[in-house]
Amino acid sequence: MNPADKVEKWKISKLIPYARNARTHSDEQVGQIAASIREWGWTTPVLVDEQGGIIAGHGRTLAAQKLGMTEVPVMVAKGWSEAKKRAYVLADNKLALNAGWDNVMLALELGEIGEMGFNLELIGFDPSEFGNADVDYSVLDGADIDDQLEEMADGVRKAIQIEFEPEHYEEAQELVKFWREQKAYVGMMMINHLRNEKAKL
């Protein structure tokens, strides 16, 4: 039987966290999950075994407790062996981590969602993930730095004019403005994307 074929409501007091769960959940992350449940409702049931042992959904269960819930939706993995249950505790977390991101597409999505007035904090992204928080800006203190920056800017502008069609200029400006306001290192975002694309060749 596929666990997702039947979703039930169980009392949280009936659920048993896996004592050897290798995945950790900070108070901050539990708070993020709780905020997402408030916004979108409960979209993924907790996966438990027939005795109520949690296989997947430890973070969601903690978030539910934080929200004062007494019941949560669950799906039961019936007939699973001990090895199968313990393996899935790890797989449920690790398989998702193995995915990557298209940073350019991600920036477009977050930018447009933000323009729609949606609270981006609910999505869980930290703007510093897209940049280098340790960039040394002390080099900008030089007396002739303005001239150097202008030369660099001219080169960048020429490169952009080559790579972008005129109809894309306005959108590019809006995206750069958005990510600068998020204190992200826009240049490194572009470099990371181009590096990742090169690695695929």
Asked if 47 contacts 3 with a C-beta cutoff of 8 angstroms, the reply is yes
CATH number of 3-97: 3.90.1530.10
pTM (2 d.p.): 0.64
**CATH 3.90.1530.10 residue spans of the chain:** 3-97
List, in order, residues 6 or more apart from 18 with CB less than 8 Å away.
53, 54, 55, 58, 89
Report the helix count and the strand count for the chain, using DSSP H and E. 7, 4
Read off the tokens for 142: 């030089």
**Per-residue pLDDT tens listing for the chain (201 residues):** 799 999 999 999 999 999 999 999 999 999 999 999 999 999 999 999 999 999 999 999 999 999 999 999 999 999 999 999 999 999 998 998 888 888 778 888 888 888 888 888 899 876 555 544 444 445 445 555 556 556 656 655 555 555 556 666 677 777 777 877 776 666 667 777 777 777 778
